[in-house]
Structure 1
Amino acid sequence: MPKPVYPEGMSNLRGHARISLNLHNDGSVSDVKVLNATHPAFAEAAINAAKLWRFKPWTPSADMPAIIDANNDMIFAPQNDITIPFQKPVTAVVSQTCRALNDEVAQWRHDQPSRPLSAMRSFALVHAYLVLPVLSGSIEYPASLSATDDFDNVLPEIVRKCRSQPKGRFIDHLPETVRVRL
């Protein structure tokens, strides 16, 4: 997954681009489109990087179709000086009570019954925060992948534990590999 290249001549602007793309079971990528971007140059850089991405191939099944629609956010900062724009929101999210998380899960399941929990705001923010250091080169992709996999694998357990312990906190149920990065 090549990182996007910060466009030259951007006067040290920070920004982002959100893209959509199709992942194919052979590991290839197609239909890369920009959903929104803070600057057209960031949009172009995001598309150029995503078109080069390759993923581990898989065998299509009922759970893993041959083509998966995906979205990705790319953060741009000059000279690889990426600040963590998600730090305050992520801190607030993981510090929230399980009762608040339970309410968000219930609303998500009501409003988005066919979407995975990993796409819910609180979980998506944590996920983005875990991946962001890869863009700056401060962490290698395999280490980031390990933390995000750990997080994704415990989402159902986090939901169950929070349901049974509404006075607890979301952060108390995170895997250690995730907690140390927060």
Structure 2
Amino acid sequence: MRFLVLAAALVCSFQVWATTSPEALYMPKPVYPEGMSNLRGHARISLNLHNDGSVSDVKVLNATHPAFAEAAINAAKLWRFKPWTPSADMPAIIDANNDMIFAPQNDITIPFQKPVTAVVSQTCRALNDEVAQWRHDQPSRPLSAMRSFALVHAYLVLPVLSGSIEYPASLSATDDFDNVLPEIVRKCRSQPKGRFIDHLPETVRVRL
């Protein structure tokens, strides 16, 4: 097996002005830059967290290489947090910093990180179109075999092969995902401006 790399160990302890940190719903790891499998590094970013769960103004404060800086920004722009009601402890906009550590590691899921991130970040409108096309072209096949759903399912199982996760834990996440597929389709149909990731179970989101 060729040597793969992982953008490892995000330090998720946000340093914020508020006394309570927002709850993360989706924090995809940065994609390790191509051609840098033998390099370790880090990138420190700043960003604003909004009470609707979105992020903005993602900037690199420092990085050991421009490619790590770019990877960090691209990942952080996709982060989403649980919405909150503004208060004295949790204002509507929170300034935050985060350190991303890049370290070589043997991980079988690396080649799939980018396509899976693209799939779960797509809008419900795009997913609705895919579901409609799938049902038209493959009326006798289950939704679980549709590309977007099959890709996420496979990604949840892959860590078992590399030994980075035990089979029971992987099985639990894949069962949760498969069981919620009809609900995802219903919610996306009624909320086309939403995103696929917003309707995934917590047990699935934490593994993406």
* Structure 1 contact 84–132 (Cα < 8 Å) conserved: no
- For the aligned residues, what is the CA RMSD? 16.7
CA deviations on 1:49-75 (whole Å, 9 max, x unpaired) are 999999999999999999999999999
CA deviations on 1:96-131 (whole Å, 9 max, x unpaired) are 000000000000000000000000000000001100
Structure 1 distance, partners of 2:40, 2:107, is: 9
Q: Which runs of 5+ in 1 are unaligned?
A: none
Q: Decide whether aligned partners of structure 1 residues 5 and 83 sit closer, same or farther in structure 2, where only a CA change above 3 A counts.
A: closer
SS in 2 for 1:139: coil
Moved over 4 A (4+): 1-81
**1:143, CA displacement in angstroms?**
0.3
Residue identity over aligned pairs, in percent, reads: 100
* Structure 2 contact 63–69 (Cα < 8 Å) conserved: yes
Q: Decide whether aligned partners of structure 1 residues 91 and 54 sit closer, same or farther in structure 2, where only a CA change above 3 A counts.
A: closer
* Structure 2 contact 109–159 (Cα < 8 Å) conserved: no
Structure 2 distance, partners of 1:126, 1:161, is: 18
SS in 1 for 2:89: coil
CA deviations on 1:13-46 (whole Å, 9 max, x unpaired) are 9999999999999999999999999999999999
2:185 — aligned with what? 159
Structure 2 distance, partners of 1:163, 1:66, is: 29
Q: Decide whether aligned partners of structure 1 residues 104 and 74 sit closer, same or farther in structure 2, where only a CA change above 3 A counts.
A: farther
SS in 1 for 2:88: coil
Taking structure 2 as the reference length, what is the TM-score of the superposition?
0.50
Matched length: 182
* Structure 2 contact 128–185 (Cα < 8 Å) conserved: yes
- Larger CA deviation: 158-167 vs 68-77: 68-77
- Larger CA deviation: 102-111 vs 58-67: 58-67
- Bigger radius of gyration: 2
Match 1:99 to one of 112, 118, 125: 125
- Larger CA deviation: 24-33 vs 154-163: 24-33
* Structure 2 contact 42–64 (Cα < 8 Å) conserved: yes
Match 2:97 to one of 56, 68, 71: 71
Taking structure 1 as the reference length, what is the TM-score of the superposition?
0.56
SS in 2 for 1:59: coil
Q: Decide whether aligned partners of structure 1 residues 101 and 67 sit closer, same or farther in structure 2, where only a CA change above 3 A counts.
A: same
* Structure 1 contact 82–136 (Cα < 8 Å) conserved: yes
Structure 2 distance, partners of 1:91, 1:2, is: 7
Q: Decide whether aligned partners of structure 1 residues 80 and 112 sit closer, same or farther in structure 2, where only a CA change above 3 A counts.
A: same
* Structure 1 contact 75–135 (Cα < 8 Å) conserved: no
* Structure 1 contact 84–129 (Cα < 8 Å) conserved: no
Q: Which runs of 5+ in 2 are unaligned?
A: 1-26
**1:86, CA displacement in angstroms?**
1.2
* Structure 2 contact 31–113 (Cα < 8 Å) conserved: no
